[in-house]
C-alpha cells in the first residue's frame, strides 16, 4: 500500500513539474493547483480504500427541492 501511495504522489509531482512552467498567469497556476490537489486527494482516497461520496447524491440534494417546486407531481 505504501508503494501505491508513493506512486500516486510521484505521479502528481511529475504532472506538476511538467505543467507548471507552461502556466503564464497566477490565476492559471492557482486553478491548476486546486484541481491537481483535488485529484491527488481523490486518488489517495481510492488507494487507501476510503469510501468517496457519489457526486450525484449532492446534485440531487441541491436540485431536488427545486425540481419538486417546478414540477409538482
pLDDT of residue 39: 95
pLDDT of residue 45: 95
Distance of alpha carbon 56 from alpha carbon 73, whole angstroms = 22
Query: Which residues lie closer than 8 Å to 45 by C-beta, 6 or more apart?
Result: 52
Distance of alpha carbon 73 from alpha carbon 64, whole angstroms = 13
pLDDT of residue 72: 83
pLDDT of residue 14: 97
DSSP code for 73: -
**What is the end-to-end Cα distance of the chain in Å, rounded?**
50
**Positive or negative torsion for Cα 20, 25, 30, 32:** negative
pLDDT of residue 16: 95
Residue ranges covered by each domain of the chain: 2-70
Task: Tell me the average confidence (pLDDT) per consecutive run of 10 residues in the chain, 73 residues long.
Answer: 94 95 92 96 95 91 92 81
pLDDT of residue 17: 95
Amino acid at each position: 500500500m505504501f508503494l501505491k501511495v508513493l506512486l500516486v504522489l510521484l505521479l502528481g509531482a511529475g504532472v506538476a513539474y511538467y505543467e507548471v512552467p507552461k502556466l503564464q498567469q497566477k490565476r492559471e497556476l492557482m486553478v491548476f493547483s486546486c484541481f491537481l490537489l483535488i485529484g491527488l486527494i481523490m486518488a489517495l482516497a481510492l488507494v487507501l480504500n476510503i469510501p468517496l461520496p457519489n457526486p450525484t447524491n449532492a446534485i440531487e440534494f441541491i436540485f431536488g427541492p427545486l425540481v419538486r417546486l417546478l414540477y409538482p407531481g
